[in-house]
Amino acid sequence: DSGDVVVVPETEVFTPSIQLADRDDTDGWILANIQQYGYYRVNYDPQNWNALIKQLIKDHTVIPPVNRAQIIDDAWNLAR
């Protein structure tokens, strides 16, 4: 133990919001952060959450395994 003190600078939480054009396909879904390219949470609108749930029930293999885990992790953390 050298006794050194490391000062960590204060950081801000950046919460970007992306608005997509209205979709005509009510059964379609959008998946962000493909293959968990970045480390951030994704919160979809209720319509997209429901579409993702339907897709996971119908054929979960369409969504890559890492993104299936991401969807579960995001849902649990955003529900807090």
Q: Is the pLDDT of residue 22 over 80?
A: no
Report DSSP letters for 34-50, one per residue. Answer: GGG-SS------HHHHH
In whole angstroms, give the CA distance from residue 17 to residue 13: 13
Give the pLDDT mean for 12-36. 74
Domain enclosing residue 80, as ranges = 1-80
| pLDDT tens-digit map of 37-80 | 888 888 999 999 999 999 999 999 999 999 999 999 999 999 98
Closest CA to 25 of 55, 61, 5: 55
pTM of the model: 0.70
Closest CA to 54 of 19, 28, 79: 28
Overall number of domains in the chain: 1
53 with 74: CB under 8 angstroms? no
